[in-house]
Structure 1
Amino acid sequence: MGSSTSKRRDPVLSPKAAGGLNILEWTGGLVSQGLLVKGAKTGWRLAWETMMRELAPQTADGSYSRPTATFTSRIGSAGFPAESGRYHLYVGNACPWCHRVLLALVLRGLTGHVTFSWLTDDPERASRGGWVFDQPDPVFGRRDLREVYDTASPGYRGRCTAPLLVDKIARRIVNNESSQILQMLNALQLPGCTPVELYPRELAMQIDAVNDLVYDKINNGVYKSGFATTQAAYERAQRELYEALDIVEERLARHRFLVGDRFTDADLRLFPTIIRFDAVYATLFKCCQRRVADYPNLSAWLHDVWQIQVGAPGSMQVRDTIDIDDARCSYFNSLFPLNPGGIVPTGPTLRELDLDHDVQRGTHCMSSIFHTREAGGLAESYAR
């Protein structure tokens, strides 16, 4: 007679779990659970709102209000001549406002004329703001961006933001407003720079209209979503964000780029937000209604811009202007009020975004992608 033997499995043992303070057990019937929870939530929210106001200035209704720039001088104005090698840019990898400036520097072929250095986002090491140097500051020899501000503008007491453009000869701050720096770099004409024109005069009105939408609803919209301190402010920002993304998706269904079939200033300003969207903003800033991957045309455009070929082999490329994996870590580690646990999502990584996949929207050589200007011609100055 056969017999069957069942194998008894020992339970899986896990390490002893660490408990909290067991407040409910300690208080017993003296204080109700509801009162404890409400008190904890009130205290935490007060601390959180205080930190949020320090991180991101708020309006009365709980909406994020982006501060205005302090330094607004221009290359080519009195005291700041358009000279090769005279100017230096401080940029941070995580920051989309720095990214737009670095993109202009690369696309215009100005990296041999305007030097730049990378900042590291580390508010624990910074004396004010969040930017410090891992490598020696090549201009002033300072430890962090606050010290650069103090050296180049003695007595300054405002926010120490990047990007920052300084005059190495005069040892003065020129500008810390990304849009104005972008305009300067597009207008700057120096020997050997590319003839790329990011703001063709005949397309000015169209570019301005797209830029107004993109800046307010998308570039700033993700921040208004992430930094909102009321439900109503968050929902308003989200509604405006996705309405704007729908408009962009429809435009890119009709054209390769936002204003026709060539890359312009409008595309440059949108790219830094879109490249960070799925990897950062979708989770940390609660922009999770839809991802860029859910927009076929916008997603294809993102791949297309990523693969643009700039200059000769060995030149700095669009893909070299951001380390998306490092940026994800920076956002989740540095923006403590939004992520107090400091846990960094494992993805999507650059590899998972698969940006090198050719989406067949056209050739990636500069001559077929950009508008060009006449040799020696000057770019018209423009708003926002």
Structure 2
Amino acid sequence: MSCQSTSCSGGFALSGAHRSAFGSRYFRKRLPHQRRGFLCLRMQRSAGGGGDSTEASSKGFGLLEWTGKIISQGTLVKGAKTGWNFAWDTMMKELAPQTKDGSYARPTYNLKGVIGSPEFPAETGRYHLYVGNACPWCHRVLLALIIRGLLPHISFTMAIDDPERASRGGWVFDQPEPVFNAKDLREVYDAASPGYRGRCTAPLLVDKRTRKLVCNESSDILRMLNSVQLPGSTLFDLYPPQLSTEIDAVNDLVHNEINNGVYKSGFATTQAAYARAQQDLYDALDIVEQRLSQHRFLVGDRFTEADLRLYPTVVRYDGMYATLFKCCRKRISDYPNLSAWLRDVYQIIVGDASQMQIRTSFDLDEARRSYFTSLFPLNPGGIVPVGPTLQDLALDRESGRGSHSADALFHSRVVPSVVAA
């Protein structure tokens, strides 16, 4: 999923070229002479070419002023709202598929290859991941790759989210990537699966040897990265068999109501759909808060896949989802146990316990820029909030939740699920 932004404008801000072109087609042919003169004067004043104010300012076209005797303000405002809502609704459906009731419907995918299967054997250097900084689904996969010590065995490319440069989807590469020499992710999909139709999403796992697509579902990639055992990889087990049933139950709650819940809130196109998503989201956060009051992590006192799946959403929450996705009834800092857990996990990930380049796995400021500029229907003006930054969130403040030694943090694997030949 490419984690790809509604503001109100005080008027139409046309460039000089657009004004000139618009004027040649409309001003001279369709407006009465008196109106043309008045509108030209308004535009001159807006551009600072004369006026009563000592400081240049713009009032747009001043439509309400020069149409007041012809069209009522109510009619003009209703017409503008109808046109804007139609355009917004159309763009939202392109950005995020919708059900009939205005709820966001996350797409599903059919790429179900598994590393360790006969088709895709576990081999050092055979596989390559495509991930992006802003995307929480990519973040979880990259963290699993690093925690499991698989960086020497599975390479990755960090894509840039830029829908204006991408030929389909939102992911591009500043330099051609090393497997297919592609300029954007769509070219990777097309090269590995000619004639591919569908969304070109990340994360994406490919087989470099056969040049085939393996999987683009983050949950499935997580499981295979946890299972595969290659020389030098860690014996940390994020999905220990004795906890699998409880982890699955927590994962279902977190995925449906929190990971996906913030998107269902932000991408809702009706008030009712938004209200339902918000209720489910805050009910789930209350459950998570309660669980974290009882033990250090979501499933006991050691870090598991359940924590790995929750963390990318929570670390983005106050900085992006609270504002852009209108998830603002409460902040993470309003949950004492959840906010302490966030500081704990953040310090594990960037601290001495990892020593595995995890610090480079996420840039909060760059992710905020991405959300507020790439998700155009949610933020047409493209203005990016200045915070909160990592410093504002105080994630380096003591969490008081326990030791950060690897032995105290992770379950150890007894028997590797997949052993390289």
Question: What's the TM-score once normalised by structure 2's chain length?
Answer: 0.85
The one of 132, 136, 140 aligned to 1:100: 140
The one of 63, 69, 74 aligned to 1:34: 74
Contact persistence 1:100–1:269 (CA under 8 A):
yes
**Counterparts of 2:89 and 2:409, CA distance in 1:** 46
Contact persistence 1:109–1:311 (CA under 8 A):
no
Aligned residue in 2 for 1:163: 203
Aligned residue in 2 for 1:268: 308
Contact persistence 1:308–1:366 (CA under 8 A):
no
Which letter does structure 1 place at the counterpart of 2:356? S
Instruction: Tell me if 1:341 matches 2:381.
Output: yes
Aligned residue in 2 for 1:7: none
Structure possessing the higher relative contact order (Cα contacts under 8 Å, 6 or more residues apart)? 2
**Deviation string for 1:177-208 (max 9, x for gaps)?**
11000010000011110010001111111111
The one of 107, 110, 129 aligned to 2:169: 129
Aligned residue in 2 for 1:315: 356
The one of 77, 81, 86 aligned to 1:46: 86
Aligned residue in 1 for 2:243: 203
Which letter does structure 2 place at the counterpart of 1:361? R
SS in 1 for 2:195: coil
SS in 1 for 2:91: helix
The one of 252, 259, 265 aligned to 1:219: 259
SS in 2 for 1:88: strand
Aligned residue in 2 for 1:82: 122
In the alignment of these two chains, the number of paired residues is: 365
Aligned residue in 2 for 1:71: 111
**Counterparts of 1:349 and 1:14, CA distance in 2:** 37
CA-CA distance at 1:135 after TM superposition = 3.0
The one of 185, 197, 215 aligned to 1:145: 185
Which letter does structure 2 place at the counterpart of 1:249? E
Segments of structure 2 that go 5 or more residues without pairing to the other structure are 1-52
Contact persistence 1:226–1:284 (CA under 8 A):
yes
**Deviation string for 1:288-344 (max 9, x for gaps)?**
000001111000000101111678885212x43210110000000100000000000
**Counterparts of 1:329 and 1:14, CA distance in 2:** 34
Alignment of 1:164-203 (within 5 A): 164-203=204-243
Which letter does structure 2 place at the counterpart of 1:90? Y
Aligned residue in 1 for 2:330: 290
Contact persistence 1:218–1:241 (CA under 8 A):
yes
SS in 1 for 2:194: coil
Closer, same or farther: CA 311–172 of 1 in aligned 2, 3 Å: farther
**Counterparts of 2:286 and 2:228, CA distance in 1:** 34
**Counterparts of 2:363 and 2:226, CA distance in 1:** 24
**Counterparts of 1:286 and 1:235, CA distance in 2:** 11
CA-CA distance at 1:377 after TM superposition = 2.6
**Counterparts of 1:83 and 1:28, CA distance in 2:** 73
Aligned residue in 2 for 1:113: 153
Q: For structure 1, which segment, 304-313 or 352-361, has the greater mean C-alpha deviation from structure 2 after superposition?
A: 304-313
Instruction: Tell me if 1:378 matches 2:417.
Output: yes
Aligned residue in 1 for 2:47: none
Closer, same or farther: CA 296–204 of 1 in aligned 2, 3 Å: same
Q: For structure 1, which segment, 360-369 or 242-251, has the greater mean C-alpha deviation from structure 2 after superposition?
A: 360-369
Closer, same or farther: CA 257–14 of 1 in aligned 2, 3 Å: farther
Runs of 4+ displaced beyond 4 Å:
309-314
**Deviation string for 1:206-263 (max 9, x for gaps)?**
1111111000000000000000000000010000000000000010011000001001
Which letter does structure 1 place at the counterpart of 2:249? A
**Deviation string for 1:114-167 (max 9, x for gaps)?**
101100000000000000001330111110000011101100021000000000
Instruction: Tell me if 1:328 matches 2:341.
Output: no
Cα RMSD after superposing both structures: 1.4
Is the helix fraction higher in 1 or 2? 2
Aligned residue in 2 for 1:280: 320
What fraction of aligned residue pairs are identical, expressed as a percent? Answer: 67
Which letter does structure 1 place at the counterpart of 2:416? G
**Counterparts of 2:83 and 2:250, CA distance in 1:** 43
Closer, same or farther: CA 14–204 of 1 in aligned 2, 3 Å: farther
SS in 1 for 2:119: coil
SS in 2 for 1:307: helix
Instruction: Tell me if 1:22 matches 2:62.
Output: yes
Aligned residue in 1 for 2:403: 363
**Counterparts of 1:156 and 1:346, CA distance in 2:** 39
**Counterparts of 2:124 and 2:403, CA distance in 1:** 32
**Counterparts of 1:377 and 1:156, CA distance in 2:** 35
Aligned residue in 2 for 1:9: none
Which letter does structure 1 place at the counterpart of 2:180? F
**Counterparts of 2:229 and 2:354, CA distance in 1:** 23
**Deviation string for 1:360-384 (max 9, x for gaps)?**
211112110110112x4327xxxxx
